[in-house]
Amino acid sequence: MARFTLRIRVRYNECDAQNVVFNARYADYVDLASTEFLRAALGGYQELLAQGYENQIVKLLIEWKAPARFDDVLDLNVSVG
């Protein structure tokens, strides 16, 4: 599996008073997408550990192009190089 997409809808509690997603929530989306990727690819994080591996996000760079807003549908893409 070289590419994985998780579709989510922005929830109200992830937004500020202007209905824009808080900046820190994008890191939560990365964690959610990577966890679901592992579930789809290997059966979950515990299976990764059982095979003697671990994963860590050691660098996270976010470049915003446009704000996500309440009730938007986002495609979170994970790819492995």
Residues carrying an active site annotation: 16
Question: Which candidate, 77, 75, 74, places its Cα nearest to that of 15?
Answer: 74
> In which residue are the tokens 């976010």 written?
62
- Could you tell me how far CA 63 lies from the centroid of its own chain? 15
- Alpha carbon distance, N-terminus to C-terminus of the chain: 10
